[in-house]
Amino acid sequence: MAPERSTGNRIGAKDIRRRKGGVPIVCLTAYTYPIARMLDPHVDLLLVGDSVAMVLHGHATTLGASLEMMIAHGQAVMRGSTKACVVVDMPAGSYETSAAEAVASARRIVEETGCQAVKLEGGVDVAEQIAAIVAGAIPVMGHIGLQPQSVEKDGGYKIKGRTEENIAALFRDAEAVEKAGAFSVVIEGTVEAVASDITRHIVIPTIGIGASGDCDGQILVIDDMIGMTVDRVPKFVKEYANLRDTISDAAARYAAEVRGRAFPGPDHVFSATSGKDKE
């Protein structure tokens, strides 16, 4: 089935690429139609992150995301967005084996969602895959530093850039992603000074998350940002709202009114005479 494409002046990957060194690029994750509609007027880029596996589906890591899951949420976000550049994460297991696998997965995501780009994790180790996807006319966002898809291999969520060896590896990854043709790169969970140096070192925009204010843009998981996260909130998150308490309070008041037969009241039921109903 053909993807549902939005109309209007959509921000594209090339527009994001041209923002290097300019006004910071505003990015947030989105996984659903209503959230995409609410965020779209305010951001430059919406990422349908594989974090959806944890945030909405209750998995312990992002490894619970599947290609089908990412496509379904990508379709929902595209229905709710008309302006932002929409990027869909390629989940673990959909691109690592070969360049051919990566191209096939990326093409399926773009064709079935209508998104503007895909994102995959890794640097030197996935440069061939990035180059092949870009050669297939699909824009790619890279992702270096802390890579959630590698959490089991790394033995946990470990901040990057704390040893000379690791710093050198980060620069090699950034250079590889840039050379392969990515239009931008996320730097996650990386020592501030190192992320800042990488931003100055490469010519494509960097998007920071737990990195540096010197990055060319910033991204947060929407549920973290609005205070919906029910487990531990990462250090790098600033909560701009507290919907946990708001939702809990609303549910408590609703439960009390139902048990006390205060809801539904006269305004929330239908009478025998249609003319008396408030539509």
Q: How far apart are CA 235 and CA 255, in angstroms?
A: 34
Of 224, 263, 216, the residue nearest 241 (C-alpha): 224
Q: How far apart are CA 113 and CA 71, in angstroms?
A: 6
Element housing 158 (H / E): none
188 is catalytic: yes
Q: What's the token pair of residue 75?
A: 């379709």
Q: How far apart are CA 88 and CA 71, in angstroms?
A: 8
Dihedral angle sign, alpha carbons of residues 212, 215, 218, 220: negative
Dihedral angle sign, alpha carbons of residues 27, 31, 37, 38: negative
> Which ranges of 136-241 does DSSP label H, i.e. alpha helix?
151-154, 164-180, 192-201, 222-225
Which residue among 112, 121, 178, 188 is the active-site one? Answer: 188
| Radius of gyration of the chain, Cα coordinates, nearest whole angstrom | 21
Q: How far apart are CA 253 and CA 145, in angstroms?
A: 44
Q: From residue 27, give the alpha-carbon distance in Å to each of 36, 43, 104, 163, 208.
A: 12, 6, 26, 29, 10
Which residues are annotated as catalytic?
A: 188
